[in-house]
Structure 1
């Protein structure tokens, strides 16, 4: 078994009405429940607003904590799911299910 991260950048969501976005929640939750039933679920969650981010940097030899994202960027993480599955094909299957439920693209990477 291997861990995979399925994630999206907030900018991939696009512009939608509040009603449309709210309609996606139950669909995404249903996929999470399927993952749990299949025994592949590790973690899933949306990421708070970028304005709540803080960063830690120890490159100078001293730990510096900053109340802002590490680097200014146009894109930032919007949410992630971690699954523990047998192979790339299984990760692709769950990424497709998440993408379908959310209504926006997902990227997948093997962890470790």
Structure 2
């Protein structure tokens, strides 16, 4: 089994009113419940949209420093993520498709490298 990261950038969400978002919540929760029942869910969650709540840790200079705000100035930033454990790419596609349909915006999928530290698959 391979672990897959299914994620979206906040900018992919688009502009919608509060009623539209309220309508997506039950759909997204149903997919999360389905993933739990299938035993594939490792984690799912959205991130705070306010970038002033972000901070970064950097030790590339040999000294650890913390900086308020995101590490890189960029037009796109991570909005939320899901980690699933699936037998193959096709199964990961199915889950990503269900998430995309429930949320109403695109999802990107990337497998974790085999043997990654912290992996539950080896």
Partner residue in 2 for 1:7:
7
Deviation sequence 1:27-47 (CA, Å, 0-9, x none): 001000000000100000001
Aligned residues: 112
Q: Give unpaired runs (5+ residues) of structure 2.
A: 114-122
TM-score, normalised to structure 1, is 0.98
Residue aligned with 1:31, SS? helix
Question: What runs of 5+ residues in structure 1 fail to find an aligned partner?
Answer: none
| Structure 1 match to 2:117 | none
Instruction: Name the CA distance, whole Å, in 1 between partners of 2:47 and 2:99.
Output: 16
Aligned to 1:95: 96
CA distance in 2, matches of 1:105, 1:51: 25
Q: Return the offset for 1:22.
A: 1.4
User: Cα RMSD (Å) of the superposition?
Assistant: 0.6
Aligned to 2:119: none
Residues 46-90 of structure 1 deviation map (CA, whole Å, 9 limit, x = unaligned): 011222100001111000101110011000000000000100000
